[in-house]
């Protein structure tokens, strides 16, 4: 719960806009469940990006290729927004249809308590921006989707982020052309996914009129994706916002694999294996997910007899 009533939705949106337009780079870890959301907040971040890929992969068990729909995504985002004081930014994929669908999609994500939402110009079913096989809609249709998104919002502080995936299909000139058109249509934050070099990042940043967002990996260098850059480097290139959508999902998978490996060795050897370095304690886990706050509510609202039965204590 984290005393979420102390931070209104409007306050979160104003905070996100201020951080987005601040001269300092806004770093947004990708969150995808209650654990990751609460951990990011505990780490001191004031805003985070809800990764659609993370929700699809963690909750449905399928790759980010358009299998997850509007309702699954929306309800996951609503739950995460309700458990944190951070400003959370949503990933609405392509908007789940044409510009009319985008209009209602934006209304839904705004009602869910988010600070903003991203709409991309891929053909549905979409796929992760760093996967092969992407297709994009026309520039005109993409611009109308962003116009519908901008007009749909009721809170002027709700941020519309436009994403283009045209680098792989049309090249850097089309990326710049589209982001400028999307800015004209009402986008507040611009995102060119899967840029391949520092030079491309700098070129896009210099040629668009609104804050630029880039997608960043963590810890693994691959020539086929955006190069790994430190936050200071990105800021120096003119980037305003960076997201790390796959950092925590990848770390979580690695941790679970390590834990399962220990369990399998215990089965194979018949020995008890203790590895406290691989996991948090039961007490820390309960603290992370708000059990202390639940108990405080119990002490506040349950009768003395109820508390006595629940905790085997005297009702006196």
Nearest-CA neighbor of 175 among 145, 141, 136?
Answer: 136
The values of phi and psi at residue 167, to 5°, are -60, -45
Structure confidence at residue 4 (pLDDT): 42
CATH number at residue 78: 3.20.20.60
Let me know if residue 101 belongs to a domain.
yes
Domain boundary among 245, 267, 294: 245
Could you tell me if 213 and 305 lie in one domain? no
Nearest-CA neighbor of 204 among 164, 231, 233, 232?
Answer: 164
Let me know if residue 42 belongs to a domain.
yes
Could you tell me if 173 and 239 lie in one domain? yes
Structure confidence at residue 225 (pLDDT): 76
Q: Tell me, yes or no, if the pTM score tops 0.85.
A: yes
Could you tell me if 140 and 287 lie in one domain? no
Structure confidence at residue 215 (pLDDT): 94
Range of the domain at 235: 4-245
Domain boundary among 200, 226, 245: 245
Place of tokens 């299998």: 67
Structure confidence at residue 130 (pLDDT): 77
Q: Is the dihedral of CA 74, 76, 81, 87 positive or negative?
A: negative
Could you tell me if 42 and 99 lie in one domain? yes
Could you tell me if 94 and 216 lie in one domain? yes
Could you tell me if 213 and 110 lie in one domain? yes
Let me know if residue 260 belongs to a domain.
no
Could you tell me if 217 and 304 lie in one domain? no
User: How far does Cα 193 stand from its chain's mean position?
Assistant: 15
Q: In sequence order, what are the residues at sequence separation of 6 or more whose Cβ sits closer than 8 angstroms to the Cβ of residue 181?
A: 139, 142, 143
Could you tell me if 231 and 286 lie in one domain? no
Rg of the chain (C-alpha set): 22
Could you tell me if 290 and 239 lie in one domain? no
Could you tell me if 187 and 303 lie in one domain? no
Q: How many domains does the chain have?
A: 2
Could you tell me if 93 and 206 lie in one domain? yes
Structure confidence at residue 5 (pLDDT): 41
Structure confidence at residue 220 (pLDDT): 60
DSSP-derived secondary structure for 45-102: -SEEEE-HHHHIIIII-S-TTT-S-HHHHHHHHHHHHHT-SSEEEEE-TT-SSSHHHH
Q: In sequence order, what are the residues at sequence separation of 6 or more whose Cβ sits closer than 8 angstroms to the Cβ of residue 282?
A: none
Could you tell me if 224 and 292 lie in one domain? no
Structure confidence at residue 11 (pLDDT): 96
Q: Mean pLDDT of successive 10-residue segments in the chain (316 residues)? A: 65 98 97 98 98 96 95 98 97 97 98 98 87 90 98 98 95 98 98 94 98 86 75 97 96 97 97 95 96 96 95 73
């Amino acid at each position: 719960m984290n005393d979420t009533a102390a931070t209104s939705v409007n306050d979160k949106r104003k905070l996100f806009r201020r951080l987005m337009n601040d001269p300092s780079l806004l770093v947004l870890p990708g969150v995808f469940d209650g654990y990751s959301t609460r951990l990011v907040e505990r780490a001191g971040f004031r805003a985070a990006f809800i990764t659609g890929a993370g929700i699809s992969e963690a909750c449905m068990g399928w790759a980010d290729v358009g299998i997850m729909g509007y309702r699954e995504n929306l309800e996951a985002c609503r739950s995460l927004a309700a458990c944190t004081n951070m400003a959370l930014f949503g990933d609405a994929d392509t908007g789940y249809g044409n510009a009319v669908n985008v209009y209602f999609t934006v209304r839904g994500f705004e009602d869910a308590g988010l600070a903003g939402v991203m709409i991309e110009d891929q053909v549905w079913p979409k796929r992760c921006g760093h996967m092969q096989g992407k297709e994009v809609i026309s520039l005109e249709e993409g611009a109308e989707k962003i116009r519908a998104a901008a007009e749909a919002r009721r809170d002027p502080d709700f941020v519309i982020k436009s994403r283009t995936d045209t680098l792989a299909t049309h090249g850097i000139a089309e990326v710049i052309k589209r982001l400028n058109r999307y800015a004209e249509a009402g986008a507040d934050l611009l995102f060119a996914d899967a840029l391949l070099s520092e030079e491309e990042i700098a070129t896009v940043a210099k040629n668009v009129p609104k804050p630029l967002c880039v997608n960043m990996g963590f810890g693994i260098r691959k020539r086929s994706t955006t190069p790994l850059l430190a936050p200071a480097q990105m800021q120096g290139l003119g980037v305003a916002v960076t997201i790390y959508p796959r950092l925590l999902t990848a770390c979580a998978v690695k941790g679970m694999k390590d834990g399962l490996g220990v369990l399998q060795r215990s089965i194979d050897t018949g020995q008890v294996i203790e590895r406290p370095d691989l996991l948090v304690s039961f007490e820390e886990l309960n603290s992370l997910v708000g059990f202390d706050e639940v108990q405080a509510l119990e002490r506040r609202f349950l009768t003395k007899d109820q508390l006595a039965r629940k905790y085997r204590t005297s009702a006196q």
